[in-house]
Amino acid sequence: MPRPRKSRTIQGPPRCSVFQPVPPALGDDPLNLNLEGFEALRLSDYLGLDQESAAREMEVSRPTYGRILAAARGLVAEALVTGRELRISGGDFVVGHRECRNRHRGGWRGGKGR
């Protein structure tokens, strides 16, 4: 029996959740990037953290973080190359920062995404 999936920790939702080419592509379904993928891109590509540090921030193993990051980069590349709409939504995550949660008895859970 596989282990239960652990929620990933993210800082929060993106400021903008839809990216669309101008003019919009007709007939193609939008691509969906989950919030864990967005957070991995933010940590590695925007903030410049190495994978080990970023994995600690998201409270996942380094190999799991690498898989999340590779999948997210693949989706963004596909959206850019094919001109498809990219939506950021969904996933299995907890909003909040690890250090903030640990200060409170029982831990703080800012929100659960599904």
Is residue 80 in a domain? yes
Q: What is the mean pLDDT of residues 38-49?
A: 96
Is residue 18 in a domain? no
* CATH code where residue 56 lies: 1.10.10
| pLDDT, greater one: 98 or 27 | 27
Is residue 13 in a domain? no
Taking only the tens place, the pLDDT of each residue in 90-112 is: 887 788 755 444 333 333 344 44
Total domain count, the chain: 1
Q: What is the span of the domain harbouring residue 51?
A: 28-107
Contact present, 111 and 94 (Cβ < 8 Å)? yes
**Strands 93-95 and 112-113, how do they pair?**
antiparallel
pTM of the model: 0.76
Is residue 51 in a domain? yes
Is residue 15 in a domain? no
Order the strands of the 8-10 sheet from edge to edge: 8-10, 93-95, 112-113
Is residue 17 in a domain? no
Q: Peptide bond before 23: cis, by omega within 30 degrees of 0?
A: yes
3-state percent helix, strand, coil for the chain, nearest multiple of 5: 40, 15, 45
